[in-house]
Amino acid sequence: MCIRDSILNHELFCFYEYDLNNPEQMELLRQKVSAEKEQFEKLVYINCAAVVHTEHFYHVNRTFETNVLGMKAFLEQATALGADIFINCSTSEVYSMNSWGENGVSESDYLTMANAEHSQRTSYAAGKLLTEFFMKEAVMERRIKGCSIRFANVYSKNELYPKHIIPHIIRQLKENGSVELLENSRVNRRTFLHNEDSCAAVIALIRSEEALDGSVYNVATDEEISIIDLVKLCADKAGIPDPKITFRGYRESDPERRVLNTEKIRARTGWKPSITLEHGIEMCLEEMSD
């Protein structure tokens, strides 16, 4: 049985489909946690309230309500309940146009972000950056232990949004034998992190008390690949030779590269990615063939 199934089938696992922006539902969650927390050794809040689908990036109100107000309220609930740890999932989008360097962009590098004159998309990054300040302040005031994580492009074999780049490529290859990409994809390069590795990073931080000092951590792989070569890799794994690639549309303020330096989390927790991009693509193809 895989890790996901072992968790989902565990007798103590409960899932509540609540809206983070709904005060009544968040109050119900608070009551449930308050009633049951004494039965457990540790209370951990993990805030993954990111409107991660790229088509939401350009809608300021959506991202502000969920990523800023929602995160702040969730953090306040955690501290009020005396939670032990709060993990704030931020985003590598905060690096905006300064998203690579000789050794990858690091957490302490100064940011060079686009602005409202250039792209509405940056509002998403600015909001997530603000959550890192909320996290840092809560730790400095000794209200809770925790940290923020800036993830690279995360994917999994169970993608919720078919428009995300890897499921988009695989679905189009399987349905049409060809792929349509944005014009940006002619030059763009990225690193991709499998969701099992992103979850492993969260667990590693939870288990490393000294790392929960309000810091920010990059979580990514070192496997940089062009989007064109990503299509070719997916096609090769799917047994489709020489896939046709067409280009249509353009995305504003989309950095050509995004390469994250992960020395900090590796040194402080021992975490490192375990699933190669090649193996991750194979996992996606296997799941989608079922």
Q: In what side-by-side order are the strands of the sheet with 213-219?
A: 44-47, 85-89, 145-151, 213-219
Same domain, 73 and 6: no
Q: Take residue 201 and report the two structure tokens written for it.
A: 């990073």
Same domain, 35 and 46: no
CA distance 43 to 13: 14
Q: Which neighbouring-strand residues pair with 47?
A: 88
Same domain, 150 and 191: yes
Same domain, 6 and 149: no
Same domain, 110 and 125: yes
CA distance 234 to 210: 40
Same domain, 22 and 118: no
User: Residue 203 belongs to a domain with what CATH number?
Assistant: 3.40.50.720
Same domain, 27 and 144: no
Burial of 135 (0-12, 13-18, 19+ CB in 10 A): buried
Same domain, 12 and 101: no
In this prediction, residues 82-86 reach a mean pLDDT of 98
- Helical H segments across 148-258, by residue range: 165-176, 195-206, 227-238
Same domain, 142 and 249: yes
Higher pLDDT, 59 or 263: 263
* Res. 61 pLDDT band, cuts 50 70 90: confident
Residue 36's domain comprises 1-40
Q: How many independent structural domains does the chain possess?
A: 2
Using an 8 Å Cβ cutoff, are 260 and 191 in contact?
yes
Same domain, 22 and 71: no
Same domain, 13 and 138: no
Residue 251 has what pLDDT?
83
Q: Are strands 189-190 and 145-151 parallel, antiparallel or unpaired?
A: unpaired
Q: Are strands 178-181 and 189-190 parallel, antiparallel or unpaired?
A: unpaired
Q: Which neighbouring-strand residues pair with 85?
A: 44, 145
- Residues 239-255: pLDDT tens digits? 999 999 999 999 878 88
Q: Take residue 216 and report the two structure tokens written for it.
A: 């920010």
Residue 57 has what pLDDT?
72
